[in-house]
Amino acid sequence: MRKWALALTAATLFLAACSEETPPADDGTPTESPAEEMTAAACAESHASDFVEEGTLTVGTDVPAFQPWVAGTGEEGPWEGVPDEGTGNPYSGEGYESAVAYAIAEQLGFSADQVAWIAVPFNNSYAPGPKDFDFDINQVSVTPERETGTTFSEGYYDVSQALVVNKGTPIADATSIADLETYQLGVQIGTTSLDLVNEVIQPDKQPRVFDRSVDVIQALNNEQIDGYVVDAPTAYVNVLIGQAENGVVVGQFPEQGEHFGLVFEKDNPLVECVNLALAALEADGTLQALEDEWLADLTYPVLE
């Protein structure tokens, strides 16, 4: 599903800085020995002092952390993994993003017990300024605006947006984007979902904007909004586990070229190492295997 072309060549992007001369060729011209490819682990070792805490990979994500991105039980850190409530604990290594983070850690040369998770609110993750994490993983879509204050990795998941509404309501019969124009929609602040509502749907009513995703869902449950827009895998889980109590996914929107990236402090050199790790995980099939394991195959009708 990932469309980032650089993933196909990133494994050869970061070459060893030096190569030794070999004996002259037959024509007397010195030749260079082939440059060795840099691995993610070697890159991380060369940047050991650039980690927040040397010898530890510090990863940020939000609280609560929701399935299918983070799963598993446990109360390590501020996360309480309660599957029936759709929440997970990133230390479990379960859920797509948690599993991806640990797979990256392994590529960088860290063991699971050398990974430390810290709580970072979604909007704080890409805000300009110093970071107390090495990277943040929290369904953050890469946008030009966000790239002005932070640095992103290559994508680790391509995503489309979807619409959740209450069953049996008029909006549940919508089959096109034009059908949504007259309804009161809700969305979380600072998300690409909000951008899609404003730029693609362009409803007659200003969308209601909430600070947290749980507040958006509760507004639908309270019938304060007619529907909300969120990424399709999250919409699937919101309905599956009953967070959206009477919810149904009406459909998903045409792909907008959106993908999730890992967030770094601006110009953090560790992004080179993580891109090498992502390229390796793409090449050996790990990312696809984790996607198949944790993210349901979505077959919602497209709202054209």
d(CA 14, CA 38): 6
Topology (CATH) of 161-252: D-Maltodextrin-Binding Protein; domain 2 (3.40.190)
The confidence score (pLDDT) of residue 132 equals 97
On the 0-12 / 13-18 / 19+ scale of CB atoms within 10 A, 93 is: middle
Rounded mean pLDDT for each run of 10 residues along the chain, 304 residues in total: 42 39 48 67 98 98 93 92 91 97 98 98 95 97 94 95 98 98 96 95 97 96 98 90 95 90 98 98 97 83 94
**All structural domains of the chain with their residue ranges:** 5-22+31-158+258-294, 161-252
The confidence score (pLDDT) of residue 255 equals 83
Nearest of 264, 276, 4 to residue 157 by alpha carbon: 4
Q: Which amino acid is at 204?
A: D
CB atoms within 10 A of CB 30: 9
Examine domains 5-22+31-158+258-294 and 161-252 and report if their fold is the same.
yes
- Residue whose token pair is 């919508």: 174
CATH number of the structural domain 5-22+31-158+258-294: 3.40.190.10
Cα distances (Å, whole numbers) of residue 78 to 46, 61, 72, 90, 155 = 32, 11, 14, 10, 27
